[in-house]
Structure 1
Amino acid sequence: MMISGIPRRIHALGTKCGISKVISKKTLMDPSKGYVVGDSCVFGADVFVIKKEQLISECLRLVEHTTPTKRKWTIPNFSKLGDVWGSEEFSVEKYKWKVNLHPKGVVSLPKGSYMSLFLEPKGFPPHRRVKAEVLMRIVSILNGFNHWFTASGGEQGFPEFIKIADMDAGGFLHRDCCFVDVEITVQAVAKASI
């Protein structure tokens, strides 16, 4: 007889696991079934060991009663900006962030078709993920997203935030200044234990 249980992870907090009801004593002791022969019974178990460096668990902390952090930038000389404008680093819930505005768009789009806007995590500890709700706005255009940010995840945002042709025509530039607002609400933090 072969019984498959649910794969389980054994670690320092719980050192034993198993199946509480494998077979009834009546069935086990029934000579016609052949489980007990000559007052002996043989049991076996397959154990698969995962190397410690492959084992990852996470501790999730939900951030309650958090207040959104709002940042505003006035970016002068918008028409003279290079490929990217980057904000100074700023902190939200002990984590550092940076806003990157690509006035002529990103490489994956036709050059000069869209302005791109991203949020980039800076200096996150390894094995740490931060879930944040992000609202990004240029004067009156608002876009938002939820994302799990990590140290290696790079910037997240909108490659096609607004058509460059609409920036001036739509009144989103005032005296060649662009006004960027970002609002970040950290919702949860997950820390991996290796």
Structure 2
Amino acid sequence: MKKQWGIVKFIDLETFNNPYNGYLVNDTCSFGVEVFTVKTNSKAECLSLINSPITRKISLSFSNVSKPTSRIQSGLFPAGDYKWRVLFYANGCQLEGNKTNNIVSLFLVVDASTLAADTKLLVHYTFRMHDKRNGNYFERSDMGLFDSSPRGFREFMTQTKFKDIENGYVVGDTCHIDVELKVLGLVKVE
């Protein structure tokens, strides 16, 4: 917390010493100061980085991706002391008022029961969707603070690209996604 506040140069010395300006009279000057104290209920966040980050790679298969299901979720999988799941929206994660999506959405979420209260995790994560026809993959990465809310990509890929047979992302109504996550640190709210 900053305990001193002020202005480094309030007025230049020449202006201050000039008797016609009236700042200095008989070698004396007066200053007025207003002090306001503000009560705050804010909390501090303390980030602790992990020396050897927890890394987890997992391969997941999502079936029936052509069905108009709003969401498909993976089972829980461990990464260190935490359990995670992937949320897959083959028809996009709908926002209120937006009924037409030409996107595929992917999110990662930590299971709240494995996360202490007032704690967040600093995580770098990567999703790789496999092209089973050509041996390639489509990849997106990000880093962020995780609490019990999902994080990821609302617009991971367009549905046009996803459903194109030549791209090979959907084979036999199934797609394969690798998830790699690194837990880099812990944020505690104090």
TM-score (norm 2): 0.70
The Cα RMSD (Å) is 2.8
Unaligned runs of 5+ residues in structure 2 are 5-26, 30-34, 131-136
Q: Identity across aligned pairs (percent)?
A: 23
Residue in 2 that maps onto 1:38: none
Structure 1 residues 26-41: aligned runs within 5 Å: none
Unaligned runs of 5+ residues in structure 1 are 1-5, 9-16, 18-31, 35-45
More deviation, 77-86/136-145: 77-86
Distance (Å, rounded) in 1 between the aligned partners of 2:2 and 2:62: 55
Q: Deviations for 1:95-145, whole angstroms, at most 9, x for unmatched residues?
A: 222110001001135535111111122213221111100001111010000
**SS of residue in 1 equivalent to 2:53:** coil
Matched, 1:177 2:161: no
Which of 121, 127, 134 in structure 2 is aligned with 1:130?
A: 121
Matched, 1:121 2:110: yes
**Counterpart code for 1:185:** K
Aligned residues: 156
Matched, 1:80 2:77: no
Q: Deviations for 1:63-105, whole angstroms, at most 9, x for unmatched residues?
A: 1222520111112222125110011122223122211000100
Q: Indicate conservation of the 8 Å contact 2:54/2:80, yes or no.
A: no
Residue in 2 that maps onto 1:58: 45
Matched, 1:100 2:87: yes
Residue in 1 that maps onto 2:184: 187
- Is the alpha carbon distance of 1:176 and 1:48 closer, same or farther for their aligned partners in structure 2, counting shifts above 3 Å? same
**Counterpart code for 1:177:** T
